[in-house]
Chain A
Amino acid sequence: MTGTKAELRDRIHALRDAGYNHLAVHIRHGQPQMLEDWADVFAMV
């Protein structure tokens, strides 16, 4: 699930609309900045 923030926002919307109510994003070992990246996307949802 890779894309721009807008693309990922739309994909998360689709998952939510399908009925998922918790999203668990994998944070790659050694890549803690992924936390901020995904939090920014989720703030758009």
Chain B
Amino acid sequence: MIHSMDLGLSVATAADSWKVVRRAEALGYTRAWFYDTQMLNADVLVAMGAAAVKTTKIRLATGVLIPSNRIAPVAANALASLNALAPGRIDFGISTGFTARRSLGLGLVKLADMKEYIRIVRGLLAGETLEWTFENERRKIRFLNPEIGVIKTDDPIPLHISAVGPKARALTAELDAHWIFTAGNQAASTAAMEAMSAARRSAGRDPARYISTAQVGGCVLADGETYESPRVQVQAGPHATIALHNMVEAEQFGNFGRGLPPILSHSLSSTAKYTSSTNRLMHAIFRITADILCSCDPRKKRSAHPNSSAPPR
């Protein structure tokens, strides 16, 4: 079955991300996703506000909002405020957090907590009066005066959940949400889509109704350009840090499944002689970082970087 597909962009949020988003809009991109990574980038909602007033067609999405970064009523208010600036162009992307949380030394938000957070955000945007637990007390809350027009709640703000594992996929299906997946390996991307569709069918929902977003990163090679090009390394190289983070923090936070590409897998083979798991890990990181920085093919370039052969012991 052939589906149509449209093109969006993700940005590591800068205060002036509106500049790149406005250019994307002119080129036909349909949606811009803004990272909510507060220790590394600019504030997602500030940047989206600027983009909202500087663009006219492109959709603007939190990509993704991390529940623990702000309380649910504040998030709902922000989305409704953005919706006033860019009516009908706002998307609510959310997940349990990787970079935003780990850069604070934290693991994932619990799925149950994210589900409750979504309930509050959605309910407030729907004009409901809700019971919300905060500071150990149950309270009734609602937007008190949406009719005066300072925010806008009558345009839909679709929910997108970034879901990797089976429980998150089941929650995505249960909550009737669109789906985001960081697509690297093709086989894994296909398997994830099949699993997501199965989860939707199990929840009695038609998979064809939903937006399924493949988030990708990389570089478009110019004619004759190789992976060794500085331009390629600047644009594609930093994605390797995700695999490195996963390796470093797997024992503390669990393995979230982003392994090394096959071309770098041999980098780990030289770590076996280190008996301490910490030393083994440090050596692996050192080895892989050197390989990434030196070449796409570490077997060719290792000898050109003699200092990279000295692991920390």
Contacts and interface: CB of A to CB of B under 8 A. Distances in A.
B211 A1 contact: no
B221 A3 contact: yes
Contacts of B197: 19
Contacts of A2: 218-221, 227, 232, 235-236
A22 B214 contact: yes
Contacts of A26: 9-12, 215-218, 239
A20 B11 contact: no
A23 to B, nearest CB: 5
B220 A40 contact: yes
Interface stretch (B20-28, B96-104, B244-252, B268-276): B20-28
Given A11-B186, A15-B186, A16-B2, A24 B215 contact: yes
Contacts of A24: 8-10, 31, 33, 63, 180, 213-216
Contacts of B156: none
A25 B9 contact: yes
Mostly, the B contact residues are mixed
A4 B224 CA distance: 9
The 10 A-B residue pairs with the shortest CB-CB distance in the complex, in nearest-first order: A1-B218, A37-B220, A26-B217, A2-B218, A20-B214, A24-B8, A22-B213, A1-B216, A18-B190, A19-B193
Interface residues of B, number: 54
Contact of A18 (B193, B217, B221): B193
Interface string A11-45: 11011111111111111110110111111111001
Nearest to A27: B9
Nearest to A1: B218
In this complex, which of A11, A28, A42 has the most chain B Cβ atoms within 10 angstroms of its Cβ? A28
A37 B236 CA distance: 13
A20 B5 contact: yes
Most central of B6, B180, B235 by chain A CB within 10 Å: B235
Contacts of A18: 186, 189-190, 193-194
Contacts of B215: 24, 26
B216 A25 contact: yes
Contacts, number: 150
Contacts of A45: 5
Given A19-B193, A36-B27, 19 more contacts: A2-B232, A12-B5, A14-B186, A19-B1, A20-B213, A20-B214, A21-B6, A21-B211, A23-B8, A24-B215, A25-B8, A26-B9, A26-B217, A27-B10, A34-B220, A35-B9, A35-B20, A37-B219, A45-B5
B20 A27 contact: yes
B29 A29 contact: no
Contact of B183 (A20, A21, A37, A38): A20
Interface in B200-236: 207, 211-221, 223, 227, 232, 234-236
A39 to B, nearest CB: 5
A28 B220 contact: no
B257 interface: no
Nearest to A43: B28
Contacts of A3: 218, 220-221
Contacts of B2: 16-17
A3 B225 CA distance: 9
